Amino acid sequence: MVFDEAVDKELRDACLDIERRYEVKFFEIGTDKDHIHSQLQSVPRYSVKKLATITKILTVLDLQALLTCKEEAMGRRVLNR
pLDDT tens for 21-78 read 888 999 988 887 777 888 888 888 889 898 888 888 888 887 777 766 555 555 555 4
Spatial distance between the Cα atoms of 39 and 68, rounded to a whole number of angstroms: 26
Q: Which amino acid is at 23?
A: E
- In this prediction the pTM is 0.68
Q: Which amino acid is at 56?
A: K
Domain positions in the chain are 5-74
The DSSP secondary-structure symbol of 73 reads H
DSSP letter for each residue of 12-62:
HHHHHHHHHHTTEEEEEEEEETTEEEEEEEE-TTS-HHHHHHHHHHHHHHH
Q: CA neighbours within 13 Å on the CB side: how many for 76?
A: 4
Q: Which pLDDT value is given to residue 25?
A: 93
